Amino acid sequence: MIRQSSTPSGAHFAFTNRWGGVSAAPYESLNLGGHVGDDPAAVRANRDLAAKSLGLDPERVVWMNQVHGNDVAVVAAPRRGAQAPTADAIVTTHPGVALAVLTADCVPVLLADPGAGVVAAAHAGRPGLVAGVVPATVESMVGLGARPERIIAAIGPSVCGGCYEVPAAMRDEVAAAVPEARATTGWGTPSVDVAAGVLAQLARIGVPVGAATSRGATPGPPWRSHICTMESADHFSYRRERTTGRLAGYVWLDLDKETQ
């Protein structure tokens, strides 16, 4: 149901697939998105299941209203009934508070500097890549004491450059902002590799990104998932299915970091 990776310094990263929940088709079964037409009770149950499987209190998970922009919200421990921030990245310095990002082809980006006690989650689709949501997220982390060279990055499942076909003019527009995102589909047409663009942006601002390729994964953080959501039946893909659920990425620091 969930792939989790942790560091000795107490940073945790997790990405879900589509299985292990209670939603009915076409959202089967671990849909974590509350804005896609699924039964709200099923979404709440799925969020509880996912959080508890990670050892998290569901009430201490912060979600976002994602809008494909570059706004970053700094958040504290959530309050019952509080509205999710409208943003495409969230940052916190509160140990034990998990930050969540929803995707179904876009790139989920999880970042942590355990030394500074700062974590962040960002939603990087094609518009967010061009708008610089990931550099803006790192800038917000640095403002809270993080150092780019100390940040650990984890890039979750997303549509790959071999599948994300776009018009040539759109590819040119993206490549003008982030050249590394220029790609070609497996059948020879223009495409965009958003994850490759995110990794290039991170590298330019000094965040270690390892040696992952567009189809490979490094063995541990920092790493990029090898999974293409459009190709994987185990993951939700908006481009493949249109009406479908949402995956989630989670990042948090151990609660006891607060007292160390």
For the chain, what is the mean pLDDT? 92
Tens of pLDDT along 191-212? 999 999 999 999 999 999 864 4
pLDDT, residue 255, reads 81
Q: What is the C-alpha separation between 170 and 103, in angstroms, rounded?
A: 21
DSSP string, 192-227: E-HHHHHHHHHHHTT---TT--TT---SSSSEE---
Task: Give the pLDDT confidence score for residue 210 in this predicted structure.
Answer: 65
- The CATH number of 2-251, from 3.30.2130.10, 2.60.40.3080, 3.60.140.10, 1.10.10.10, is 3.60.140.10
pLDDT of 24 > 60? The answer is yes
- In the chain, how long is the greatest CA-to-CA distance? 54
The domain segmentation of the chain, as residue ranges, is 2-251
Closest CA to 250 of 25, 30, 26: 30
SS3 11: strand
Mean pLDDT, rounded, for 205-225: 61
190: which strand partners?
184
- 59-90 residue pLDDT tens: 999 999 999 999 999 999 887 778 899 999 99
Per-residue three-class SS string for 143-170: HCCCCHHHCEEEECCECCCCCCECCHHH
Tokens (6 digits) for 230: 């459009």
Segment among 171-175, 202-206, 209-213, 236-240 with least mean pLDDT = 209-213
